[in-house]
Each structure stands twice: as C-alpha cells, then as structure tokens.
A and B are shown apart, each in its own frame.
Chain A
C-alpha cells in the first residue's frame, strides 16, 4: 500500500464514512464544521489526531459505520463519519 503524503491525506475521499471494511486507520483530524458539542463528544470518545481506529464495517444497506475506538465499539451515522478525516495506519 502506498503511504499518502501528508498534504494529500486531508482529502475529502479519506473520511471514516468511506473507509473500507476491516481497515486499520488513524484519525487525521475532525472537521471544524461539526457542532461544537458533537466535536467535544467525539474527542472524549478518543477521536484525537493520531488515534488508531479499526473500521469494523457498515450496518446492513449502507447503514451507519461501525468503528472500534480504543476498547469500545461505536456506530456513527454518515453525518458525523464523513467529517472524520483518516489515513491508513502506518
């Protein structure tokens, strides 16, 4: 797998929403346009730059993403997941 260069990493295509199933990725940043309350919650869930994540997949029929953050599994809907920018784990 090619390693993304840092400038290209923050492209719209690399969000948690379109991360492939079973991918081990890490957080690049959370988009600032998120509601501050939600942003804060995501941070407290551990979604800080550099945090490793495992995408476990999707709910049936293109449903919310299922992602393992630390020792918890969460499901996030598109509205949030597409604002979480990620890169493949190095």
Chain B
C-alpha cells in the first residue's frame, strides 16, 4: 500500500487531523508530546501515518528521535507517495522554519510535499485571511488552510491529498531556498507577510498566564486543581456508584427470586452479583477520572503544571516533564510509561518510568474505595464540600506520590548515565489555552469505561467462578472454611498472618497479581459464600460485619499503594527500558517494600 506520512511540530493538530482523515481515535490533547510512537490508519486507498511531533530535524528527546528517524526512513521508501507537513497557522513565525527544513528534505529525496496549515478556525476568529495561493507560490509547494476541529477546508484538502498522492509525477517542492541561514530569513519574511501578529495570538494566553503563573495565585490554583481532581473522583462519582450498586442489588434480588433457592442461585448471588458486580460499581469512578484528566489535558493547563512542578521535582531527580506521565499514571501506568518518552534527559526518563507504577492507577480505585468505605466513616464537613472518605482517598493518592518521590530521590543517587543527552535541560512550549473539545472527550470517557470492563471483566469473571467453585464445594463439608479453597487457603495463611489478615484476604491478594481489581471480585465472592443470604447488601458492609482490624486494613491499603501487581505494566517497562533486570527488580523491590509497610501498619497501629 502507498503511504502518506503526516509530520509537523508538536501540538499542531496532527493527530486530530489524522483522526478526521482515517476515522480512528488517536489521543489528542493540548500539550506538546502527546503522540510518542507512529500510528497508522487507512485514508482511502492509502496508509496514513501519524508521527510524534518534532521541533527540529535534530532531535532532543526520544519521541522526536523516533519522528525524525522514521521520517528519514519514509523518505527513502519508494512506497511513500506524499508527505503532509502540518503546521499551526496561527504561529507561522515559529513554524515555517521547521516546514522549510522538512520541505528541503523532501526535495532532496524527490518526494511530494504538501503543507497543511491547521487551526484555520482560530485564524478566522481573529479575522485574519491567509492568502494560501500566494504563500503556496512563495513556498513552491501546495498549501491548504484547514481546521481539523471545525472541518473547515477539510473537503478540499482530502481532494487535494488524493490528487497529489495519485499523481504520476510527484509534486516535489519546486523551489530551493538555500542554507539554514537563508531558510531562517525566508521563513521570517514569509511570516511577516502572511502570518498573524504574535501580540494577537498570544494576548489571551499571556493574560491567563499572568494569573496562573503568578507566585501566589498560581501556586494556589495548582493546589486547588490537584485537590479538586482527586476529591471529585470520589465525591462526584459517589451518587453514580450508589446507583450502580443499587441497580445490581435489584437485579440480583429479582433474578434469585425468580430462580428460587439452590446451587444456581447461590452461584449467581456469590460469583456473578457479588464478585463481578462488586467491580462494576467502580466504572463511574473510572469515567470521572478520565473526564477530569481529559479536561485538564484539553485546557492547556498541564504544561503550566509541569512548569510549576519543575523546581520541586528537580529536587527529587525528576523533571517538570515528569509531571504529565505521573498524572496520566493515575489512569493507567502503561500509556504513562510510554509518555515518559518526551522527557529529554534519559536519566530522568528512566527514573520517571521506574516510579510511575506507584501512581494510584484506576485498577487500584476499586481496592481503595472498598477498603476506605470499610475503614473510614462517612462524614462530610463544610456543608458537604469536604468529605472524610474523599480526604482519605486524596491521602492514598498523595501517599503513592510521596513514595514515588522518595524512590526517585534514591534512584537519582544510583542511576548514572554516560549518555550525551543525559543532562538535557527542561525546555517546554506553553500552548494556547483552549476550551475542551467535547465530542472526543465524551467518546474517550465512554471508551475508558468500556475498556475497563472488557479488559478486567473476563479475568474477574474467570477468577470469581474459579474461586466460587473451589470455595463452594464440597458443599456439605461445612462452609467456606472446609472447602477446597479453604484447605489451600490455610496452607498460605502463614504468609499473611503477620499482616493481620486471614486466608481469604491472602487468596484475594494472590489473585490480584493477575490484575489489581481482581481483589475486589475475589473478596466479593469469598464473602458471598461465607455470608448470610442477603449478602448483596454490599461487600463493604459484609467486611465490616466480619471485622477487619484497622491496622491490618490500613496495612492492606499500604500494600496496594506500593506493590507492582500488573503484568502489562511490567512488560511495558521491560520494553521501554530494554532491561529484564530493571523490570524484575521493580517487582521484587516494590513487593518487599509493600509487605514491610503492611507489616508495620498491622503491628503498630
């Protein structure tokens, strides 16, 4: 298949354009360095490839390096029919230099090139008319002004792409503009003639930044945003979670009433409604988390947050650029570890990757939420604004971050890298503030929920069924304690006894090495078999009734804060670092630390 490659500066809207042309859903967000690997999709009869952004053809960070190396490969590939160079039309002055460099490269390889000047909707808003015909003549390559957001000019652009990519004779850039120095002068004069004045583009942005980056208001705004982020995951999602729980309870009641008592009804009650159901309750929280992180990503605030965090993070051997991977690690560690590619310094990148698993990812949410509702009473202060359980949640998130920082501090003393780039400084572009792009955001929230269910659902289902079978039979032997599972459980109990936990927790913990959220499902099933008939009342209430010592419960929480129990994360770390030793070391190191903390909590509290 013939290829069309889509390159451009970071945050210029390549991925949104890619999505519009292919119908796919690549991640789009308002900060530089979102895309960190090549992604392809189909555009008509062509393969369209979305690249990570690059500021220049000489790369500083890993994602740029990928973009530049792969562009060079694509230019040598006879199958490459066309290069799209996507630039931000509102910032020609700083974009055209890169555009001209890419153009010269395409020319050197005799490849066709087209300029897509994206964000034309914003130009329109500023009342600026871009003379694409004249600009195209001056550049010696076709130019389209488009908006990947409002689809302005996209139809013509599609037609243009097809014509250019299908042409028998490739539209190689017609003009030669000279060496670096000449390119720079040329790009300046073009920007002056055709571009928007920088004072117009930046007016809004600079005005907001005067507040957001101010010593006092900026610091407070940052703390407030972070607090609201974590607090709202709990409080805003709570009514939805209650609704889901009530819904499951009602269905369970109806179904079991319909079937009547017996083994089938026990199975449905314990394994399906008690096990699988107890994890469905957390879907609203996952959605809320995705929504809020998505809002932050779209707003443009994250780059500011990275700036604000740079100094404190440097103290721990990290970079301001570690902030965004850390934040997205709260949804899932895997994309976050990939996102660390944008950190210029390989050393800081490595430390960031090694500590991301400590961020409270959404798989921990069910575990935290369950144990918090067991251990912490539901109480609200300040007229419902602050909720004690919400504060406990915030505390757990904070604890993950604090452990990560301490581990970073330690690692930064040990990790030495002789790489030339090892001390690349922190340089970050601050993008324009934008209102969220609602449609993709809603899609993203829904797909986060769906993938949570699809990814964890089958594992949890299998585990709960298995646990139920082993825990239910032999049925006449006298309950869970004497079941097959009970016998196995008592065998492993000595490992968990020092933590103040009985074998049921032990089984659930072991199972959760498959995926953390399995813990809740497994425990739900175990307490289901064990409990009275109306065990749908809620797992938290069952555990409370059963009695879980505060110290042991808190220790269990600490265990989940620290332990690295996710096969996929370990695989990603191995792939990104290329080291089995690092991956294995992290599993063992975090495992031992988790056990030690849980031990201390159980015995001291």
Contacts and interface: CB of A to CB of B under 8 A. Distances in A.
Contacts of B218: 59-60
Contact of A48 (B184, B308, B426): B184
B94 A79 contact: no
A53 to B, nearest CB: 12
Contact of A74 (B97, B196, B215, B429): B429
Nearest to A34: B425
Contacts of B94: 45-46, 69-72
Contacts of B424: 35, 37-38
Interface residues of B, number: 46
Interface in B311-329: 311, 314, 320
A60 B91 CA distance: 27
A56 interface: yes
B213 A59 contact: yes
B219 interface: yes
A68 B423 CA distance: 24
A71 B427 contact: no
Main secondary structure of the interface of A (DSSP, over half): mixed
Interface string B409-442: 0000000000011011111111000000000000
Contact of B307 (A38, A41, A45, A63): A63
A59 B306 CA distance: 10
Interface string A58-77: 11111110101111111111
Contacts of A38: 60, 424-425, 427
Given A37-B60, A73-B205, A76-B426, A61 B215 contact: yes
A35 B424 CA distance: 8
Nearest to B184: A48
Contact of B427 (A40, A58, A63, A75): A75
Interface in A31-59: 35, 37-38, 40-41, 44-46, 48, 56-59
B311 A62 contact: yes
Contacts of A77: 310, 314, 320, 425-427
A44 B425 contact: no
A73 B56 contact: no
Interface residues of A, number: 31
B166 interface: no
B264 interface: no
A48 B214 CA distance: 28
Contacts of A56: 206, 209-210, 213
B21 interface: no
B243 to A, nearest CB: 40
Contacts of B314: 77
Contacts of A74: 427-430
Interface string B49-66: 000000110101000000
Given A40-B58, A60-B215, A68-B198, A75 B425 contact: no
B576 to A, nearest CB: 22
A71 B196 CA distance: 9
A62 B314 CA distance: 13
A27 interface: no
Contact of A68 (B206, B216, B425): B206
A28 to B, nearest CB: 18
Q: Interface centre among B58, B420, B427, by most A CB within 10 Å? A: B427
B334 to A, nearest CB: 28
B114 to A, nearest CB: 23
A66 B214 contact: no
A26 to B, nearest CB: 15
Contacts of B60: 37-38, 41
Contacts of A37: 58, 60, 420-421, 424
B588 interface: no
Contacts of A79: 423, 425-426
Contacts of B571: none
Contacts of B320: 64, 75, 77
Contact of A61 (B205, B311, B427, B429): B311
A59 B56 contact: no
Contacts of A72: 91, 94, 429
Contacts of B222: 60
Given A56-B206, A71-B91, A64 B58 contact: no
Contacts of B201: 71
B555 interface: no
5 contacts: A41-B56, A46-B93, A64-B310, A73-B429, A74-B427
Which 4 pairs of residues, A with B, have the shortest CB-CB distance?
A71-B198, A77-B426, A70-B93, A60-B219
Interface of B: 55-56, 58, 60, 90-94, 97-98, 184, 191, 195-196, 198, 201-202, 205-206, 209-210, 213-216, 218-219, 222, 303, 307-308, 310-311, 314, 320, 420-421, 423-430
Given A38-B427, A60-B215, 20 more contacts: A38-B60, A38-B424, A40-B58, A44-B97, A45-B427, A56-B206, A59-B213, A59-B218, A59-B310, A60-B219, A63-B311, A70-B93, A71-B91, A71-B92, A71-B94, A71-B202, A72-B429, A73-B209, A76-B426, A77-B427
Interface of A: 35, 37-38, 40-41, 44-46, 48, 56-64, 66, 68-77, 79-80
